[in-house]
């Protein structure tokens, strides 16, 4: 099946620095990718929709200047957490969708990135 | 946006069949129902997807009644490794993108 790869799998950074997380679709082209964050024992919360060649669409309450998303190619989307603070520590997950021939859409998820801000 | 409601948690024993039901009263005509499994510190993994009636694959079955306002994921003969969180999702179409909104999920614990 289709594979979505995230990098890095875990990262520790100092407060005030920026961290970039990459999401790649390895064997298919993804016009749309999604970024989620997940706190311990909670569900995934959709942060933004990343569209190749255009601006990302952010969900309500997500700061677009803090979570920069770039989708420069059909196989790569990046999420940059700018000026990270301890409260940004979380599990970040990306997904990419492939429209199905019958109107369905299948989403494939990366393995996630554990961000710890110290 | 179609919202889903699932039991927060379920307990089972090895070898039993587990049925997890999800309510999605506001499902749209074009929406599919998809179930994902998530282990700690991993991304969700696709289990099964359906539109109506019954779908079966090598790991699970999905039962969808005619009104499509609910669905039931059936896991036959669970093992300890099936302990995970299971999410029922209904895709939302907005602005030509297809967003998946996660509900609370069902935390399944399989005991020996």
Q: Which residues make beta-bridge pairs with A19?
A: A81
Residue A103's pLDDT band (cuts 50, 70, 90):
low
Percentage of chain B beyond pLDDT 70 is 92
Nearest chain B residue to A5 by CA distance is B43
Interface test with B, best of A103, A113, A115 (most B CBs within 10 A): A103
- The reported pLDDT for the residue numbered B95 is 41
Per-residue pLDDT, B94: 45
Tokens of A45: 């919360």
Measured at the alpha carbon of residue B21, what is the angle toward residues B79 and B47, in degrees to the nearest 5?
Answer: 55
Instruction: Band the pLDDT of A44: cuts 50, 70, 90.
Output: very high
- Cβ contacts of A63 within 8 Å, gap of 6 or more: none
Do A46 and B34 lie within an 8 Å CB cutoff? no
Q: Per residue in B71-84, pLDDT tens?
A: 999 999 999 999 99
B12-52 pLDDT, tens digit per residue, is: 999 999 999 999 998 988 888 999 999 999 999 999 999 99
Determine contact: A110 vs chain B, CB below 8 A.
yes
CA distances (Å), A97 to each of A25, A110, B2, B95, in order? Answer: 10, 12, 18, 15
CB-CB under 8 Å, A49 with B102:
no
Of A6, A43, A51, the CB nearest to B97: A51
| Strand duo A67-73 + A57-58: pairing | unpaired
DSSP codes joined into one string, A34-47? EEEEE-TTS--EEE
What per-residue confidence (pLDDT) applies to B99?
Answer: 73
Dihedral angle computed from the Cα positions of residues A51, A108, B45 and B71, in that order, rounded to the nearest 10 degrees: 80
Judged on CB neighbours under 10 Å (0-12, 13-18, 19+), A36 is buried
Question: Is the Cβ pair B102, A43 closer than 8 Å?
Answer: yes
Q: Using alpha carbons, select from A92, A100, A3, A102 the residue that is nearest to residue A50.
A: A92
Instruction: Among A36, A93, A104, pick the best mutation site for testing chain B contact (most B Cβ within 10 A).
Output: A104
């Amino acid at each position: 099946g289709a594979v979505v790869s995230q990098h890095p799998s875990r990262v520790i950074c100092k407060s005030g620095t920026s961290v970039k997380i990459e999401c790649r679709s390895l064997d298919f082209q993804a016009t749309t990718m999604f970024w989620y964050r997940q706190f311990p024992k909670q569900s995934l919360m959709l942060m933004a929709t990343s569209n190749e060649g255009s601006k990302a669409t952010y969900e309500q309450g997500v700061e677009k200047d803090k979570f920069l998303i770039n989708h420069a190619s059909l196989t790569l989307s990046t999420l940059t957490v700018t000026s990270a603070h301890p409260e940004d520590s979380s599990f970040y997950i990306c997904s990419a969708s492939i429209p199905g021939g019958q109107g369905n859409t299948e989403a494939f998820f990366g393995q996630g990135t554990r961000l710890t801000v110290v | 946006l179609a919202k889903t409601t699932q039991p927060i948690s379920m307990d089972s024993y090895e070898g039993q069949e587990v049925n997890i039901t999800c309510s999605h009263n506001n499902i749209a005509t074009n929406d599919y129902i998809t179930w994902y499994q998530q282990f700690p510190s991993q991304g969700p993994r696709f289990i099964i997807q359906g539109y109506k009636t019954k779908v079966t694959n090598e790991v699970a079955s999905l039962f969808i009644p005619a009104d499509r306002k609910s669905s039931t994921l059936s896991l036959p003969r669970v093992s300890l490794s099936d302990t995970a969180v299971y999410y029922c999702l209904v895709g939302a179409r907005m602005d030509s993108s297809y967003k998946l909104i996660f509900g609370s999920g069902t935390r399944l614990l399989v005991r020996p």
